[in-house]
Amino acid sequence: MSHLSDRATAEPLAALVAVFAVTAGIALYAGVIDEALAGSQAERNRAAPTADLIERNHSTVGLFDPSGLAQSLSAVPDGYSGNVTVRADRTWAAGPAPPANTDSVRRSVSIRASPGIVQRGTLRVSVWR
């Protein structure tokens, strides 16, 4: 006759440690996959970080100064071409016209049109190979 003590059992603490180890492994794997996919997405869209840099370089006290916009093309990554366009009551542009399928981003900016005059405008940055 068989006794209950003869059956294989696991210690509760060992079972909890095993469940924790499996859960931690799955969470770590998911984090690595998420980071890898986010990295490849960032490589595909170069316009957003370029626009961040251009906006930071041309803004003073929250006002975007479109003078010297041609110098902003230095923010375009090596091996890429770029176009920077600012539109308000007039248009400022630097760089060649972008092709049809290109990474681009548009942002609303406050533009210093002249001393004491601020206008609402749009900053558009396009980056392509």
24 & 51 share domain: no
Whole-number pLDDT of residue 126: 96
58 & 108 share domain: yes
87 & 54 share domain: yes
Give Dmax (Cα) for the chain: 99
- Residue 121 pairs in a beta bridge with 109
The DSSP string of the chain is ---GGGS----HHHHHHHHHHHHHHHHHHHHHHHHHHHHHHHHH--HHHHHHHHHHHHEETTEE--TTGGGGGGGSPTT-EEEEEEESSSEEEESSPPPSS-EEEEEEEEEEEETTEEEEEEEEEEEE-
15 & 70 share domain: no
Whole-number pLDDT of residue 6: 62
Whole-number pLDDT of residue 5: 60
Residues spanned by the domain of 64? 46-128
Whole-number pLDDT of residue 101: 83
33 & 92 share domain: no
* Residue 1 belongs to a domain: no
State the total domains in the chain.
2
72 & 98 share domain: yes
The verdict on pTM exceeding 0.85 is: no
21 & 62 share domain: no
51 & 100 share domain: yes
68 & 100 share domain: yes
Whole-number pLDDT of residue 42: 47
User: Which residues neighbour 57 within 8 Å (Cβ) at sequence distance 6 or greater?
Assistant: 72, 75
111 & 75 share domain: yes
* Residue 118 belongs to a domain: yes
Written as tens digits, the pLDDT of the chain (129 aa) is 555 566 667 788 888 899 989 998 898 888 888 777 765 554 568 899 999 999 999 998 889 988 889 999 999 999 999 999 999 999 999 999 999 888 899 999 999 877 888 999 999 999 998
37 & 98 share domain: no
